[in-house]
Amino acid sequence: MYIDAERLLILILWIILLVIRERVDNLKKFSLEPARRRDYHVRRSVQMRLYTLSKRQFVLVFICFFAAFGVSVLIGVTGPSIDVTNSTQHAVTDSNYSFVLESPSLTKFSRSLWLTAIINSTEYKNDKIQRKLRVDVTVRARKGDASWERLEYLNILSHERDLMCSKKDGCQPILVVHIGVLEFAHYQFTVELKGLETSQANSITFCFRSYNPVFSNMEIWFRFIFLVLTFIVTCMFAHALRKFSIRDWSVEQKWLSVLLPLLLLYNNPVFPLIFLVNSWVPVIVDTIFQTTFLSALLLFWLCAYHGIRQSDRKWMKFYLPKVIIVGAMWIIGITMTCWQQYRGLYDPTFNYKVDSGNFVALISIFFVFGALYLLYLLFLVIRAFTELRSLPYMNLRLQFMTILMLCVVIVSTVITILRYGVSVIKEDFVSELSTYYKNSAEFLAFYSLLNLYLYTMAFVYSPSKNAYKDSYFKDNPTFAMLNESEDDMGSEDEENQRTSLTSSRYQDSDNE
C-alpha cells in the first residue's frame, strides 16, 4: 500500500493552519483582557518542595543529578563490549561466489545473530562503484543429534542488496542474515552472491556478530537495579501525595503519577523472559514499553508548558491536538519494529530499511510530525515564559522544568550525533547493521539519564514538609499570593475603603 505524498502533505498543512488560526484567535482574546481580570478557573495546588528550596539547594539538586549521571557513564566506559565479532576471509577462485559458513557456538545470552559480507577488491580502490547484488541464502540448524537440518519454514531466501564502494572507505558491509531469536546453538548458511562476475573480487570477508553474553548479564542487572529504584521512588511519591486530593495536585504532580509507573515498564520487569523463552513476543513487549514511555514523556512536555498557564484543560481543545501529534509518532515506531520482528521470523534476510518501499514514507511522516512537535513545543515554551516570567513561583517552575528538559535533550542529541554523525539520514544508515546500543557507555547513558530525570522531578515536585499544615498555593497565574505583594494588596484595600466611603457620602447627600 503506497501513500500519496501530495495529499498527505496537503492534509498536514491544513491541520497546521487550523492550529495556528486557533492559537492566533486565542492570543487576540488574551491580549484584549486586562491582566487582573482574565477569566481563569482557580484551583488549589499542593505546595511543592521546589518552592522551599534555596539557591544553594537548587544548585545542589543539579550537581547530584550530573554526578550520578557521570558515575553511570564511567561505569559504562569500563564495562564490556556490547557485541562479539568472528570474521573469516574466503578467497574467490574461478568466479565461484558460493560459500558455506558455520556460526560460532551461541547461547541464550547471545540473543541475536548477524552475518555481513565485505567485498575486497583492488578494482574498487580506483573509483567509486555502486551496483546491485543478488544474495541467495539457505539456513540450516544443528539438531540434538549433531546433524544439520534445513529449517522447515525457510526455503532459499533471495534479496537484492546495494554494493557501494569508494576509494577512501572501501566497500560497505552487506547485510546477509539477521536472526532475531536464537532457537539453536549452531547455524549453517549457504550464501551465493550473484552480480560479482565482472568485478574480479579478490576475497570476501564474512563477519558473525552477536550480543556479548557478559553485556547481557550486565544489562539484566542494571535494568533490575533501576527497576527497584523506580519502584521505591514511585511508592515514596505516592505516599507523599496520599493526604491530598487529586484535584489539588499541580500539573507536574499529576503527570509524574503517570510517568513513574510507565518508567517501571521502561525498565521492563519481564526483560529476563527474552533469555528464557524462544519467542519474539518478549522482544516486542520490550520495544512497546520503551516506545510508550518515550511518547508519554514527549506528551508530558507539551501538556506541562501549556497546562502551567491554563487551568481549564478540556479534552478536545487541550489534549486532542497533542495526542494526535505524539500518537502518530508512537504508532509509526511500533509499526516498524513489529513489522521487522514478524517478517524476520520467516525471512532472516529481510530488512525493512532496504526491502520495503514504505519505509521511506513512514520515516518521512515521522519526521513531519516530529518537526510539527518541535514547533508546537517551542511555541508553548515562548508563550509560557512571556506570560509568567514576572510571577516568582511560576517563573521558578518554568526555569527548573526547562533546564532539566534541556539537559535530557542535549545529552540525547550528543549521543545520537556521536553514533550516527551529523546527518542521520544517509546512505550507509539505511543499510546499517546495528544493535540497540553501540557500547556499554551508551546503554547506561540513556538508561541512567531518563531514570535520574524522573527521580529528580519526583524529589522536587513532591510536597514539602509543611505542605499539609500550610495554606494551599494557587495553581493559577492570577492568584494574589503568586501575583501580588503584600504592599500591593494593602494599597488595593485602602483604595476599596476610599471607594466605599465616597459612595456612602453620595448616598447621604441624595437622602438629604
pLDDT digits (tens, 9 = 90+) for 219-278: 999 999 999 999 999 999 999 888 888 887 888 888 999 999 999 999 999 999 988 888
pLDDT at 452: 95
Strands, DSSP E only, in 429-486? 473-474
Say whether pLDDT at 348 is over 80.
Answer: no
Tally of CB atoms within 10 A around 196: 18
Average pLDDT, integer, range 340-367:
74
**Does position 379 have pLDDT exceeding 60, yes or no?**
yes
The residues, ordered by sequence, that sit 6+ positions from 101 with a Cβ below 8 Å of its Cβ are 88, 115, 188, 189, 190, 191, 206, 208
Q: What does the buried/exposed string (b/e) look like for 134-163 if buried means 16 or more CB atoms within 10 Å of the residue's CB?
A: ebbbbbbbbeeeeeeeeeeebeebebebeb
Proportion of the chain above pLDDT 90, given as a percent: 20
C-alpha cell at 159: 534479496
C-alpha cell at 395: 517563573
Rounded distance between C-alpha atoms, residue 245 and residue 311, angstroms: 16
Range name among 165-179, 211-225, 294-308, 448-462 with the lowest pLDDT average: 165-179
Strand, helix or coil for residue 280: coil
* Position 479 pLDDT exceeds 60: no
* pLDDT value of residue 137: 85
**What does the alpha-carbon distance between residue 282 and residue 289 come to, in Å, rounded to a whole number?**
10
7 or 65: which leads in pLDDT: 65
pLDDT score at 164: 77
The secondary element (H helix, E strand) that includes residue 250 is none
* Buried-state track 53-86, b at ≥16 Cβ within 10 A, e below 16: beeeeeeebeeebeebbeebbeebeebbebbbee
* CA–CA gap between residue 138 and residue 116 (Å, rounded): 15
In DSSP terms, 115 is beta-bridged to 177, 208
CB 475 within 8 A of CB 394: no
Measured CA to CA, the distance from residue 466 to residue 475 in angstroms comes to 18
Of 61-70, 382-391, 425-434, least confident by mean pLDDT is 425-434
Q: Tell me which of 424 and 449 has the higher pLDDT.
A: 449
Beta-bridged to residue 507, according to DSSP, are: none
The pLDDT-based confidence of 125 (bands split at 50, 70, 90) is low
Residue identified by cell 553501540 is 438
- Listed in sequence order, the residues at least 6 apart from 467 whose beta carbon sits closer than 8 Å to its beta carbon are 46, 47, 48, 244
Specify the pLDDT at position 353: 61
Q: What is the pTM of this model?
A: 0.76
**144 has pLDDT over 80:** no
Residue with the three cell numbers 494593602: 490
Banded model confidence at residue 75, pLDDT cuts 50, 70, 90: very high
Give the residue-averaged pLDDT of 84-113. 82
pLDDT for the residue numbered 18: 60
Query: Residue 17 pLDDT > 50, yes or no?
Result: yes
The sign of the CA dihedral 305, 308, 310, 311 is positive
Mean predicted confidence (pLDDT) in 12-28: 56
User: Does residue 96 carry a pLDDT above 70?
Assistant: no
Look at residue 68 in the predicted model and tell me its pLDDT.
93
| Grid cell at residue 175 | 547485510
Residues in contact with 57: Cβ distance below 8 Å, sequence separation at least 6, in sequence order: none
How high is the pLDDT of residue 497? 45
- pLDDT at position 97 is 73
Residue 126's pLDDT band (cuts 50, 70, 90):
low
Q: Return the percent helix, strand and coil in the chain, to nearest 5.
A: 55, 15, 25
* CA–CA separation, 361 and 174 (whole Å): 23
In this prediction, residue 415 has a pLDDT band, given cuts at 50, 70 and 90, of confident
Contact between residue 186 and residue 122 where contact means Cβ atoms under 8 Å apart: no
pLDDT at 85 over 80: yes
pLDDT of residue 5: 52
Instruction: Return the minimum-mean-pLDDT range out of 178-192, 364-378, 473-487.
Output: 473-487
For the chain, the average pLDDT equals: 75
Residue 509: band (very low, low, confident or very high) from pLDDT cuts 50, 70, 90: very low
Residue 10 confidence (pLDDT): 60
List all residues 6 or more positions away from 54 whose beta carbon is below 8 Å from its beta carbon: none
pLDDT band at residue 469, thresholds of 50, 70 and 90?
low
CB 103 within 8 A of CB 208: yes
Tell whether the model's pLDDT for residue 505 goes beyond 60.
Answer: no
Nearest C-alpha neighbor of 448 from the set 169, 9, 178, 70: 70
Q: 3-state DSSP call for residue 474? A: strand
Tell which phi-psi region holds residue 372, choosing left (phi > 0), alpha (psi between -120 and 50) or beta: alpha
The answer to whether residue 380 scores a pLDDT higher than 60 is yes
* pLDDT, tens only, 285-306: 998 999 999 999 999 999 888 8
How large is the greatest C-alpha to C-alpha distance in the chain, in angstroms? 125
What pLDDT, on a 0 to 100 scale, did the predictor assign at position 25? 55
- Find out whether 277 and 183 touch, Cβ atoms under 8 Å: no
The residues pairing with 130 across neighbouring beta strands, listed in sequence order, are: 164
| pLDDT of 9 above 50 | yes
What radius of gyration do the chain's Cα atoms show? 30
Cell digits of residue 80: 564490556
Q: Which three three-digit cell numbers place residue 119?
A: 567485498
Long-range contacts formed by 364-369: CB under 8 A, 24+ apart: 364/5, 365/3, 365/8, 365/328, 365/332, 366/328, 366/329, 366/332, 366/333, 368/12, 369/325, 369/328, 369/329, 369/332
Task: Write the burial class of residue 199 (CB in 10 Å: 0-12 exposed, 13-18 middle, 19+ buried).
Answer: buried
- DSSP, collapsed to helix, strand or coil, labels residue 193 as strand
Q: Where are the alpha helices (DSSP H) in 142-270?
A: 213-240, 251-267
More confident of the two residues 509 and 395: 395
The DSSP symbol for 172 reads: P
- Is 70 exceeded by the pLDDT of residue 511? no
Quote the pLDDT of residue 328.
92
State how far the Cα of 48 lies from the Cα of 252, in Å rounded to an integer: 10
Other residues' Cβ atoms within 10 Å of the Cβ of residue 406: 10
